[in-house]
Structure 1
Amino acid sequence: MQAQTELATKKIDSLKITLLESKGRDSIFTAKQNYKIGELYRKYILSDSAYLYFYKAEKIFRKYNYKFETAATLFGIAVCQTYDKDYTGSESTSIEALTLLESLSETNDVKKYKAYINNNLGIVFNELGLYEESIKYHKRALELKQDLEGNFERSIGLSENNIAFTYKNLQQYELALKGYQKILSNTKLINNYPDVHVLALGNYANTLYLSKNLKQLPGLYLKALNICDSVNDTYNSIIILQHLAEYYNDFNQKDSAKYYAYKAKGIAEAYNNDDLLKSLLLISEIETGELSNKYLKDYISLSDSLERSERLNRDKFARIRYETNKIEQQNIQIAKERMWLFIISVVIVLASFLLYLVIAQRNKNIELQFKQKQQEANEEIYNLMLSQNESVEEARDLEKKRISQELHDGVLGRLFGTRLSLDSLNMSNSEEAIKTREQYIDELKIIEDDIRKVSHELNTDFVSGSGFSDIIKTLIETQTLAYNLDYELTHDDDISWDFVGNKMKIHIYRIIQETLHNIYKHAKASVVEISFKLKNNVICLTIKDNGSGFDINRAKSGIGLKNMNSRIKELNGTINITSKKNMGTQVVIEAPILQT
């Protein structure tokens, strides 16, 4: 027994290590490991430790609807409850396990656990004194075992012993003796399984003793005791030793009675259970005087201790259930909190995304509105330039008409008169005529000069700096007057604005307008210099003021400067701003000429 306990402890330690290493792995694997540990505790060590591991396994199996595994685990729990005399709890757990198995297909494993559970119910009802119920469940267990595939010879022998044992408690000694005789006549069984042989032989001898059939006693007791000694079965020898003590005490053979009673007590002390309790009571009945009282007090003390221990174990089981359920509820609560946290996070992310879309759409709308206004302003400037060009064309037409009238009424009239005068002198060769012709010839020279002058006027642009140059000049004059600024405008005559695209003209117009506005608003300047130059088909516009200047690295980029940069970008140009405090600011813009 000691060797089995040590082996079981090693297996349990190994399983616990595996369980620890597998933390976070498959839940069913964890449940199976807990079940294995529970089984080892149940069979060899402590029922309360077994209960803890069974309960952990059962929770997982039940969660994943593993009905067979759940029923097998419930059986383990029920047996633990029987060990600790929680018979009502064991009955309830066993019935629940049977109910689960009834819903499954009738496999060999299902029938096996049905048999085991019925056997446990038979033991429970026997302990409760409900012997008829006990026999019913033991017989049902026996029928199931006899129908199983595989070697269940020992298990069948134990069920037959349980039935006979219950008949003995029911005082139906003939049925009990008949059952034991059947077991003892099974040579194969008693040879292969000495523990079953001892149980049956010891119970058979005790049944004979209770039925007052003493012919084979104490021989059968001693035979059973010898078998225990031969197989080193110390635990089963306790009951046989107690029976021998009872037998000798009845015949007033006190020395023999005391010998076997004290020997039973000595072995039972290693287990400190009901067998020790029974040994103490037996000794108190055999002994006399103070010694009898001493063992009776020891019996009462141990009885109270065992009762408290049993109650504590039952409470411990309830506490394990409560604490496990509490942990499970906490885990459920944590899972709920995590779920809500996830939902809130998703909602926040979605809300943030929607807010971003709204803001982005609003900014896009603002940008579109700005572009629309910019387009309207560009159209306004373009219409202004067209209007200016129309005014110039009208002036040209008027000037042409004036020159035409001048030629027709002045020069042509004078030519006609001179021609007639020359015609009248052609017939005369007098000195006066010759002199007069010379005068007319001089007049023709004068008329020639007049015609040359008119021709020159026609070939010269009558409006100096007309077209876009005039529009820019008008803009500068208007804004500098409004802003109380003096200006100096320098224009490169090599720039032919007629070959420059309207888009570029509009952007240049707007850039000058915005720059003058910024000078007025921020620079506190008194003079502004504006110049246009042409370099390698690139227009260079420079705007310089004598204002307060600013720190370019620390200045914020306002919407005006952003608009200027946007316009320069559309022209594929560059902008360079230099400024120093109290030394003014210079803006240089370079843009390649875009053809109309």
Structure 2
Amino acid sequence: MNFIQAQNSNFKKIDSLHKYVVKSKINDSLGLAKVHYQLGELYRYSNLSDSSYFYYHKAERFYRHSKQQLEYAKTLYGIAVIQTYEKDHTGSEVTSFQAITILESLKQVNEVRKYKAYIYNNLGIVFNQLNQLEESVNYYTKAIDLKRGLKGDFKNSIDNSINNLARVYILKNENDKAIKYYNVILSDKNLRKERPSFYALVLGNYGKALFNSGNYDKLPNLYFEALKIADSVSFNGYNSIIINQQIAEYYSLNGDNELAKFYAYKAKSISEKFNNEDLLSALLLLSKIESKDKALKHLRAYVKLNDSLLKTERTIRNKFERIKFETKEIEKENIQIARERLWLLIISCALILASVLLYLVINQRSKNKELKFVQQQQETNEEIYNLMLSQQDNIEEARVLEKKRISEELHDGVLGRLFGARLSLDSLNMATTTDAINTRSKYIAQLKTIEEDIRKVSHELNTDFVSGSGFIDIIKSLIDTQTLAYQLKYKMNNDGAINWDGISNKNKIHIYRIIQEALHNIYKHAKATEVVFTFKLKKSIICLKIKDNGAGFDINKAKFGIGLKNMNSRIAEINGIIYFNSEKNLGTTVVIEIPIT
């Protein structure tokens, strides 16, 4: 697969991952972190550093607080590589050591040691760029040693680290060591076939080491072989830039300025497509081998490009810092949102708990009030019952007194008169005179009068003059008291056919309380001036009608308060029925039907 095909493949994978995130709406943090890491990797291999850094940081933010510490370290490694590529060497160094610290804390399985090797290799690159060559050699050596101990095929990775180490030895001017390592790589007979691009790179570096050591036997043919291979595998000529510069240096040293300038300009022409450090090297080389004016021109271009690259590097580093800052700000916002949600949850729970407690308290108070009301009702009922008993005692006492009076009247009046009339008739029993006859007629008339008196007394004894009048007297006393307090006039019609002595005390108490409540409602709502109470007996049903001349109300729209509810409750307890008939400004009539039980 060539470079273009690889890039197209990466972009297809990136597009597929983005669509997956949108369609699946991943809510799992670790799942989302995995996708972000994969996007970071794909963007890195596509040389899109900004996007790669962005998605690596998104993944890092999730992994940082998770138990997936290996994935966290791998993500940090990806960030470190991007920082190295963009010349943020100090940032890459810090990130790399952070990843190493995490990996050191884990069990040293193959995967952990593999990423330690990768990170050591990155640190070798970083310290090389920082011109700390001893440190660079140290970390490249660690990387190579770890890779050689890994399970699996890591030959290519080992060769890459050896090539990097050899280049550091060239910079240290320890070219013999560099040549030794390049010979190790080039001893692989299959390298040219399997990795032609890398083979060309190694061959060029090997030539550089030979050139620096003064060994020119294989030069420049070795360079031309490397250049031929590089041009055959590189679609844009990028791999041949360094080799062209090395050839230019060779010819410049050997006094062939024309060929030196030819290959130097060729390197410059190719590197202008990329505007990077290779172009800097080409311009610096031309400033050395060209004539004065042209050399000065190339030197100025070198300085200008160098300043531009430094500015770009600072811009990129600032961009990375901004991504970090924005990521931290987003994280802070998320933490704040999480805290706000937690407090909202706590407050909601507290409010619900408070509402439940308040409901329980109110409900308990309501029950207590209801219980107290029932107790008060019971006490009131007992008072009414006692009042009725007292009234009954008064009635019984009145009956006794009346019987005594009648007895005395019979004994002292009627019986005395009878005795006197009997004695007079006895004395005239045998007399036949006209006076005697007239006197007997007089006494007979007197006996008739006495007979009428006896009949009258008998009738009075036979009719219980207080029978049933006790409860009605209690009701009348209630109505008298309340109508006087409410400034109402009243009329009361009582059907004498109702035997109140046969009505249970429970029913009497409820009737009493219903009348009491009705009077209270009339006073409170009706604004009446007169009320009429009627008691009738219809087929073993006591009918109580209470009619007022008040304001009235619309029955269909009326909201029944606690007073009417209490009346309904009492009616239900005695199996009665209540009706309301009312019109505005025409008063209200309440009809209550109570069966005699």
Matched, 1:459 2:465: no
Q: How far apart are residue 76 of structure 1 and its match? A: 0.9
Q: Go from structure 1 to structure 2 and tell me whether the alpha carbon gap of 1:476 and 1:47 turns closer, same or farther (over 3 Å shift).
A: closer
User: For the Cα contact (< 8 Å) 1:87–1:124, is it kept in 2?
Assistant: yes
User: For the Cα contact (< 8 Å) 2:80–2:96, is it kept in 1?
Assistant: yes
Aligned counterpart, 2:204: 202
SS at match of 2:469: coil
- Higher mean alpha-carbon deviation, 309-318 vs 230-239, is at 230-239
In the aligned structure 2, how far is the partner of 1:88 from the partner of 1:328? 24
Q: How far apart are residue 191 of structure 1 and its match? A: 3.6
User: For the Cα contact (< 8 Å) 2:124–2:135, is it kept in 1?
Assistant: yes
Aligned with 2:60 (options 58, 62, 70) = 58
Aligned counterpart, 1:298: 301
What TM-score do you get using the length of structure 2 for normalisation? 0.89
Q: Go from structure 1 to structure 2 and tell me whether the alpha carbon gap of 1:305 and 1:478 turns closer, same or farther (over 3 Å shift).
A: closer
In the aligned structure 2, how far is the partner of 1:439 from the partner of 1:540? 55
1:179-190 to structure 2, matched below 5 A, reads 179-190=181-192
User: For the Cα contact (< 8 Å) 2:468–2:500, is it kept in 1?
Assistant: no
User: For the Cα contact (< 8 Å) 2:117–2:142, is it kept in 1?
Assistant: yes
In the aligned structure 2, how far is the partner of 1:518 from the partner of 1:139? 104
Q: How far apart are residue 394 of structure 1 and its match? A: 0.9
SS at match of 1:171: coil
Aligned counterpart, 1:74: 76
**Which residue identity does 2:272 align to in structure 1?**
E
C-alpha deviations, 1:36-85, integer Å up to 9, x for none?
A: 11112222322232212111111111121321011111111111111122
Aligned counterpart, 1:31: 33
SS at match of 2:531: strand
User: For the Cα contact (< 8 Å) 1:577–1:586, is it kept in 2?
Assistant: yes
Q: How far apart are residue 555 of structure 1 and its match? A: 6.7
C-alpha deviations, 1:480-502, integer Å up to 9, x for none?
A: 55656554322223322122122
Q: How far apart are residue 18 of structure 1 and its match? A: 2.0
C-alpha deviations, 1:455-491, integer Å up to 9, x for none?
A: 4333211226522122223333454556565543222
In the aligned structure 1, how far is the partner of 2:340 from the partner of 2:306? 50
In the aligned structure 2, how far is the partner of 1:329 from the partner of 1:502? 78
In the aligned structure 2, how far is the partner of 1:582 from the partner of 1:574? 25
**Which residue identity does 1:272 align to in structure 2?**
N
**Which residue identity does 1:292 align to in structure 2?**
A
Percent identity (aligned)? 59
Aligned counterpart, 2:50: 48
Q: Go from structure 1 to structure 2 and tell me whether the alpha carbon gap of 1:359 and 1:437 turns closer, same or farther (over 3 Å shift).
A: same
Q: How far apart are residue 504 of structure 1 and its match? A: 2.0
User: For the Cα contact (< 8 Å) 1:154–1:189, is it kept in 2?
Assistant: no
- Higher mean alpha-carbon deviation, 499-508 vs 456-465, is at 456-465
Q: Go from structure 1 to structure 2 and tell me whether the alpha carbon gap of 1:318 and 1:390 turns closer, same or farther (over 3 Å shift).
A: same
**Which residue identity does 2:463 align to in structure 1?**
T
**Which residue identity does 1:236 align to in structure 2?**
N
C-alpha deviations, 1:97-144, integer Å up to 9, x for none?
A: 111111111111111101111111112222222222222211111111
User: For the Cα contact (< 8 Å) 1:157–1:189, is it kept in 2?
Assistant: no
Q: Go from structure 1 to structure 2 and tell me whether the alpha carbon gap of 1:578 and 1:78 turns closer, same or farther (over 3 Å shift).
A: same
In the aligned structure 1, how far is the partner of 2:514 from the partner of 2:431? 76
In the aligned structure 1, how far is the partner of 2:193 from the partner of 2:584? 116
CA RMSD, Structure 1 to Structure 2 (Å): 3.2
Aligned with 1:276 (options 276, 279, 284) = 279
SS at match of 2:152: coil
Q: How far apart are residue 517 of structure 1 and its match? A: 4.7
Aligned with 2:147 (options 145, 169, 179) = 145
Q: Go from structure 1 to structure 2 and tell me whether the alpha carbon gap of 1:240 and 1:561 turns closer, same or farther (over 3 Å shift).
A: same
Aligned counterpart, 1:567: 570
1:532-543 to structure 2, matched below 5 A, reads 532-543=535-546
Can you give the 5+ residue segments of structure 2 that lack an aligned partner in the other structure? none
User: For the Cα contact (< 8 Å) 2:527–2:551, is it kept in 1?
Assistant: yes
Q: How far apart are residue 4 of structure 1 and its match? A: 2.5
User: For the Cα contact (< 8 Å) 2:127–2:133, is it kept in 1?
Assistant: yes
Aligned with 1:135 (options 137, 148, 167) = 137
Aligned counterpart, 1:366: 369
Matched, 1:512 2:515: yes
Aligned counterpart, 1:176: 178
User: For the Cα contact (< 8 Å) 1:578–1:585, is it kept in 2?
Assistant: yes
Aligned with 2:96 (options 94, 97, 109) = 94
Aligned counterpart, 1:310: 313
In the aligned structure 1, how far is the partner of 2:525 from the partner of 2:203? 119
In the aligned structure 1, how far is the partner of 2:173 from the partner of 2:489? 135
In the aligned structure 2, how far is the partner of 1:124 from the partner of 1:482? 105
In the aligned structure 2, how far is the partner of 1:176 from the partner of 1:384? 126
In the aligned structure 2, how far is the partner of 1:157 from the partner of 1:454? 146
Aligned with 1:375 (options 366, 373, 378) = 378
SS at match of 1:270: coil
**Which residue identity does 1:310 align to in structure 2?**
E
Q: Go from structure 1 to structure 2 and tell me whether the alpha carbon gap of 1:352 and 1:257 turns closer, same or farther (over 3 Å shift).
A: same
In the aligned structure 1, how far is the partner of 2:244 from the partner of 2:82? 27
Aligned length: 591
**Which residue identity does 1:35 align to in structure 2?**
Y
User: For the Cα contact (< 8 Å) 2:425–2:440, is it kept in 1?
Assistant: yes
Aligned counterpart, 2:341: 338
User: For the Cα contact (< 8 Å) 1:527–1:546, is it kept in 2?
Assistant: yes
Q: How far apart are residue 331 of structure 1 and its match? A: 1.5
Q: How far apart are residue 346 of structure 1 and its match? A: 2.7
User: For the Cα contact (< 8 Å) 2:252–2:289, is it kept in 1?
Assistant: yes
Matched, 1:498 2:501: yes
User: For the Cα contact (< 8 Å) 2:231–2:239, is it kept in 1?
Assistant: no
Aligned with 1:119 (options 118, 121, 125) = 121
**Which residue identity does 1:314 align to in structure 2?**
R
Q: How far apart are residue 586 of structure 1 and its match? A: 2.4
Q: Go from structure 1 to structure 2 and tell me whether the alpha carbon gap of 1:196 and 1:479 turns closer, same or farther (over 3 Å shift).
A: closer
**Which residue identity does 1:107 align to in structure 2?**
V
In the aligned structure 2, how far is the partner of 1:337 from the partner of 1:195? 57
In the aligned structure 2, how far is the partner of 1:476 from the partner of 1:348? 51
Matched, 1:320 2:323: yes
- Higher mean alpha-carbon deviation, 315-324 vs 232-241, is at 232-241
Matched, 1:260 2:263: yes
SS at match of 1:591: strand
Can you give the 5+ residue segments of structure 1 that lack an aligned partner in the other structure? none
C-alpha deviations, 1:419-450, integer Å up to 9, x for none?
A: 8999999xx98868x98999999988877766
Q: How far apart are residue 357 of structure 1 and its match? A: 3.4
What TM-score do you get using the length of structure 1 for normalisation? 0.89
SS at match of 2:107: coil
User: For the Cα contact (< 8 Å) 1:546–1:585, is it kept in 2?
Assistant: yes
- Higher mean alpha-carbon deviation, 561-570 vs 171-180, is at 561-570
Q: How far apart are residue 321 of structure 1 and its match? A: 0.9
**Which residue identity does 2:262 align to in structure 1?**
Y
SS at match of 1:114: helix
In the aligned structure 2, how far is the partner of 1:419 from the partner of 1:77? 147
Q: Go from structure 1 to structure 2 and tell me whether the alpha carbon gap of 1:466 and 1:93 turns closer, same or farther (over 3 Å shift).
A: same
User: For the Cα contact (< 8 Å) 1:28–1:61, is it kept in 2?
Assistant: yes
Matched, 1:108 2:110: yes
Q: Go from structure 1 to structure 2 and tell me whether the alpha carbon gap of 1:265 and 1:514 turns closer, same or farther (over 3 Å shift).
A: same
**Which residue identity does 2:508 align to in structure 1?**
K
Q: Go from structure 1 to structure 2 and tell me whether the alpha carbon gap of 1:476 and 1:211 turns closer, same or farther (over 3 Å shift).
A: closer
- Higher mean alpha-carbon deviation, 84-93 vs 237-246, is at 84-93
Q: How far apart are residue 32 of structure 1 and its match? A: 1.3
User: For the Cα contact (< 8 Å) 1:154–1:196, is it kept in 2?
Assistant: no
SS at match of 1:186: coil
Q: Go from structure 1 to structure 2 and tell me whether the alpha carbon gap of 1:581 and 1:181 turns closer, same or farther (over 3 Å shift).
A: closer
SS at match of 1:78: helix
Aligned counterpart, 1:225: 227
In the aligned structure 2, how far is the partner of 1:130 from the partner of 1:214? 29
Q: Go from structure 1 to structure 2 and tell me whether the alpha carbon gap of 1:526 and 1:256 turns closer, same or farther (over 3 Å shift).
A: closer
